[in-house]
Structure 1
Amino acid sequence: MKHIFMMAALLVYLSACTPGQRPDEEAAITLTDIQGNKVVLNKPAEKIVCLFDPMMDAIYMLQMQHKLVGIPAETYSDKELFTPFSLIDERIRDKRLAIPGSNETANLESIIALKPDLVIAKHMSAGSIRSLREMGIAVYLASSEKYSQVLKELEDIGQLTGAGERAAELAAYTRQQFDAMQSAAAAVPEKDRKKTYFTWAHGRIYATTGRNSMMNDCLEFAGVRNVCTAPVDQPDINAETLISWNPDMIVMWNDPADLFYAKKELSRVTAVEKKAIFNLMPMFFYNPHTLKSLTAAVRIRGWATGQTTEASLEAVREMILKYYGPTTGNQLITLL
């Protein structure tokens, strides 16, 4: 009972001092997130809790990381996130930034204690959203499942943080690059496109990507043909299906190619037989739920066309410098 009274007192206190938009104030920023929720701020957010790592990545690209007061718990527990982010932010290196939730869950009490004016998440219950909004804390839900969503969400976060010009610049650059890749891919006859199989990490070699996915977008921009035609995001298949598809090339998500070479039943698959198995790693540089879907497409195109590793990596380095700026970008590319 004492805990309930303390929580109620905290809610009353924060409702009086949180710098979010009030019903009687004129909204300076109003937009709708990908899930249809109206997001309102009377000025750009100054204190942000971000519980979805692709959106945290976008905040670093927008050079607004100084506004972060809370980050996803995965940032500390997942080496693929901790290593690069600890390199560019000493608060993460020293684990000084609060972790009031994750991509899947949010600790409402911990969020409130940080007194943010904006919370960015992937999932949050309607009740939690309503409670935060009643205290003047805006909530933005993101998805980052498709290329168009990634660009919209970047531009939305640009508006919400006061980095609209930077967001527009990065979005324009990304669109220009993808348009160029799309034109090049369109010039390749369907019969000449390498049949490509994509597989996710952690030994899940039979977990692939369907046509309704960001990684499928990457494959199309790279000018290759996804052998999986299922209209879903991440379908599971079996060895017989993979053998029947007989891909020319396999792209793996941060796993060793030996996972395929060790399976005798797959030895006659063209990609296995010709050792045309490639790996997108470190994963941070090729996250398809961020603007770095572009770098993933560049590497896949390089493998499909026989480009040298150094040439495709140089293109990736240039993009990382563009996305993060010279200071942060130069720190990050030491990991490539």
Structure 2
Amino acid sequence: MKKPYFSYIFCFLTFASLLSSCQSNQADHSGKTYPIVAVDASGDTIRLTKPAQRVVSLVPAALDALYMLHADSAIVGIPNRIYTDPNVYPYFSKIDVRIKEKLIPTPTITESGLSMETIIKLNPDLVIIPSNNTDAIQMLKELGIAVFGISTQNFGELNLEVLNLGILLGKEARAKELIAFSQDKIQDLKELNKDITNKKTIYYAWSGGRIYSTTGRKGLINDCFEMAGLENACPYEIDAPNISPETLISWNPDIMLLWNTPESVLYDKKELSSLDALKEKRVFNLSPPFLYDPHTLKIVLASIAIHHYSYPTAAANNLSVEQLEILSALYGPEKAKLILQ
């Protein structure tokens, strides 16, 4: 049976306690002391002699976390996608003038390929990279560069990554503040969900019009559903299954959730015209994507938005009020106002 999302919080608290217990100074065989110790998604231990001051983040979600941690000044390299993706550039350009003027280097040849020469020239003391990019990770380690691998599969792992990044950047207190705020907001949602007697079912379609690619009962989107008090219409215990139109019709979800896809794409699917959600116009587009990125702590805002749409009479606050409150807590009031402009 799938563990509910709040079990991840217990795992996070347990891990955080264990991590704190091993934060005493550690030394290598040369006698060099590494007082800063963290663990990445692959279970690799990262040791630094001092907080990272020059960071190359090649993961957009991790870059987002650096701004939430108030570690802007440490950022020296970013993914090329930050400049090229119209869904993210307008927002990052508001919170960092260097991005607006495209001054921060992008050590990428393609969206997935890296320029090791550029990374070396940036002289980073920490590189944040997808954990499945094993060849690049090994090469960076051989060059003596600390690497933090990212692979966020659920809300608990997201909390751990924020905590460990906070430790590496000397922002542990800020990381714990962010996590505590996020968990408090999820607890508020949990209280609202107590009054829901019949959970609605929801179906998620991946971005770019991939209507028949969905999320199973594992992963961050499914965690959003659980936090929002809904049941995933897809019963499969895998992350991202592909299904047929006939399967979707048999599920007949109460709500259809789209991500970065025009609603017309769904309504134009004549084979799906019998779905109650389409006939009754219960199609929700989680937009703009930047505000609701579930790979960041904005997963809280995504969950609240889904809850507000699905159970409008149970919604405690206006969504725009929630947006300002949550973004202010995550980024700071000034950046939150810029983001929402």
Do the structures match in fold with TM over 0.5? yes
Shift, 1:333, TM fit = 1.3
Correspondent of 1:194 among 200, 204, 221 = 200
Q: Following the alignment from structure 2 to structure 1, what is the Cα–Cα distance between the partners of residues 285 and 316?
A: 12
What per-residue deviation string (whole Å, max 9, x for no partner) do you get for residues 279-315 of structure 1? 1111000001110111111011001112589812221
**Structure 1 residue matching 2:204: 3-state secondary structure:** strand
1:210 is matched by which residue type in structure 2? G
2:254 is matched by which residue type in structure 1? D
Correspondent of 2:157 among 149, 152, 155 = 149
Q: Residue 223 of structure 2 aligns with which residue?
A: 217
**Structure 1 residue matching 2:295: 3-state secondary structure:** coil
Q: Following the alignment from structure 1 to structure 2, what is the Cα–Cα distance between the partners of residues 139 and 322?
A: 28
The within-5 A match list for 1:56-205 is 56-101=63-108, 104-123=112-131, 125-126=133-134, 128-189=136-197, 192-205=198-211
Q: Residue 50 of structure 1 aligns with which residue?
A: 57
Relative to the length of structure 2, the TM-score reads 0.87
CA contact (8 A) 1:106 1:124 kept: no
CA contact (8 A) 2:52 2:126 kept: yes
Q: Following the alignment from structure 1 to structure 2, what is the Cα–Cα distance between the partners of residues 222 and 255?
A: 21
How many residues of Structure 1 are paired with residues of Structure 2 in the alignment?
312
Q: Following the alignment from structure 1 to structure 2, what is the Cα–Cα distance between the partners of residues 123 and 107?
A: 17
The within-5 A match list for 1:159-308 is 159-189=167-197, 192-306=198-312
Q: Residue 48 of structure 2 aligns with which residue?
A: 41
Shift, 1:129, TM fit = 3.3
**Structure 2 residue matching 1:31: 3-state secondary structure:** strand
CA contact (8 A) 1:41 1:160 kept: yes
- The percent identity for this pair of structures is 36
**Structure 1 residue matching 2:318: 3-state secondary structure:** helix
The alignment yields a C-alpha RMSD, in angstroms, of 2.0
**Structure 2 residue matching 1:155: 3-state secondary structure:** helix
**Structure 1 residue matching 2:262: 3-state secondary structure:** coil
What per-residue deviation string (whole Å, max 9, x for no partner) do you get for residues 105-159 of structure 1? 3322211110010001114655543443354421100112210111100011111
Q: Residue 318 of structure 2 aligns with which residue?
A: 311
CA contact (8 A) 1:103 1:123 kept: no
What per-residue deviation string (whole Å, max 9, x for no partner) do you get for residues 244-301 of structure 1? 0001111110212111222222122110010000111110000011101111110110
Q: Following the alignment from structure 1 to structure 2, what is the Cα–Cα distance between the partners of residues 328 and 36?
A: 33
1:181 is matched by which residue type in structure 2? L
CA contact (8 A) 2:201 2:232 kept: yes
**Structure 1 residue matching 2:213: 3-state secondary structure:** coil
**Structure 1 residue matching 2:223: 3-state secondary structure:** helix
Q: Following the alignment from structure 2 to structure 1, what is the Cα–Cα distance between the partners of residues 143 and 193?
A: 50
CA contact (8 A) 1:196 1:225 kept: yes
What per-residue deviation string (whole Å, max 9, x for no partner) do you get for residues 2-28 of structure 1? xxxxxxxxxxxxxxxxxxx98541001
Distance 1:126 1:252, change over 3 A: closer
Shift, 1:207, TM fit = 1.2
What per-residue deviation string (whole Å, max 9, x for no partner) do you get for residues 223-242 of structure 1? 01110011111111121111
1:249 is matched by which residue type in structure 2? I
CA contact (8 A) 2:41 2:131 kept: no
CA contact (8 A) 1:299 1:313 kept: no
**Structure 1 residue matching 2:67: 3-state secondary structure:** helix
1:298 is matched by which residue type in structure 2? I
1:197 is matched by which residue type in structure 2? Y
**Structure 2 residue matching 1:79: 3-state secondary structure:** coil
What per-residue deviation string (whole Å, max 9, x for no partner) do you get for residues 148-187 of structure 1? 1111000111111111111110100111111232343244
Residue 27 (str. 1) matches residue 23 (str. 2): no
Relative to the length of structure 1, the TM-score reads 0.88
Correspondent of 1:328 among 326, 329, 335 = 335
Q: Following the alignment from structure 1 to structure 2, what is the Cα–Cα distance between the partners of residues 85 and 224?
A: 31
Shift, 1:92, TM fit = 0.8
1:318 is matched by which residue type in structure 2? E
